[in-house]
Amino acid sequence: MKNNSASDVTTRPAASLRLLDANLDRAREGLRVLEDWCRFALDRPDLVARTKDLRQRLGRQHHERFKLARHSASDPAAGLSHPAQQERLDDAAILAANAARVQEALRVLEEFGRRDEPELAREAAALRYLVYDLEVDLIQASRLGLGRRELLRQTHLYLVTSPVPDLEEVVAAALAAGVRLVQYRAKPSQGQGPGPGPGPGPLQHAPADDQQRLEQARRLRTLCAQAGALFLVNDRIDIALAVEADGVHLGQGDLPPAVARRLLGPERLIGRSTHRIEDLRQAVSDGCDYVGVGPVHATPTKPGREPVGLAYVRQATAEAPIPCFAIGGIDHHNLAAVRAAGGTRVAVVRAITEAPDPGAATAALLAGLEAEA
């Protein structure tokens, strides 16, 4: 019968107890590194909870008799380092090293605890397999944000939807023609008719309620995922989270980016509408991933908004350290002027959603963006 008292130190070799103590320390320290990464870098409460549970389960096995056998002064490896430790210059390397540290320590606990500490050995074996799965999830979570931002940097044509008939067919055609960034915007524009310009037509195609918006967003999200395109939701963080969107786009009157970031986590994208250089500088300071610059021309999508013209496009593209998408009344007829002003990225609404052939309109815009300014 196992004795958990401090006097048990004298009944078994101190070297064995010290070995178990050292590996319990090593595994718990590695788990703390992973836990803090989940908490502060990934902002993933679910992964924090999983890692914390592993660490606490291991802590319950770290009995006093192991700690009393500790004698760091006589440990020949105390303070010993290896050149490979200096090569961990990025987050991925640090995560990999600490996941391996935990896994290796658990294996030692399993092997050397099997004879005299069977409960510890069983728990170490169970935890080791859980850490294998946790490491994969950490890698995927860490890469997800980087993958989205890399795709954003590669994107030059951005489709913002409007409530038009057969919206899903329109988006599918644009994706097939090469669009790789779609924003779901379900807000009707005042005075927007069914044609390419403003008019008195009814807005019968706007979703009637949040249930319809959610269902439509989910279908568009699926289309974008199949095409390898980013999918954002205008304003509605709740819908973005519900459909696992890649992020949100916020207007100047929407929730502050800092609040959105707390809700979305660091891996999703946040875009911001800007109408002057001060807006852009604030968006950069707030940690936004990209900005919309406009409206360049008057547009029924933003009724009453004074156009900023091409001067702001020149200023924004010259200064911004993040992607800038010129927006507002841009189509293939005036795209060359935007390009001449330095705008290499554009966001469009009606130029695609109200085009007779959305796929052909998309192709024409992409060809214009690829042309020499």
C-beta of residue 174 within 8 angstroms of C-beta of residue 350: no
Q: Does 200 have pLDDT greater than 90? A: no
Domain locations in the chain as residue ranges: 8-146, 155-370
Tell me what pLDDT residue 226 has: 86
Handedness of CA 271, 300, 348, 206 (dihedral sign): positive
- Strands 269-274, 247-250: pairing is parallel
State the average pLDDT over residues 166-181: 97
Q: Does 137 have pLDDT greater than 90? A: no
Share of the chain above pLDDT 70, in %: 86
First to last CA, the chain: 83
Q: Does 241 have pLDDT greater than 80? A: yes
Helix (H) / strand (E) element for 352: namely helix 350-353
C-beta of residue 344 within 8 angstroms of C-beta of residue 156: yes
Tell me what pLDDT residue 46 has: 77
Tell me what pLDDT residue 228 has: 84
Q: Helix (H) and strand (E) counts for the chain?
A: 14, 8
Which residues does 372 contact at the CB level (< 8 Å), separation at least 6?
A: none
Handedness of CA 344, 217, 283, 253 (dihedral sign): positive
Please write the tens of the pLDDT for every residue from 98-136.
999 999 999 999 999 999 999 999 999 999 999 998 998
Q: CATH classification of 155-370 is 3.20.20.70, yes or no?
A: yes
Closest listed residue to residue 13, CA positions, set 107, 92, 116: 116
Whole-model pTM?
0.63
* Confidence band for 83, pLDDT divided at 50, 70 and 90: low
Region of poorest pLDDT, from 52-61, 86-95, 363-372: 86-95
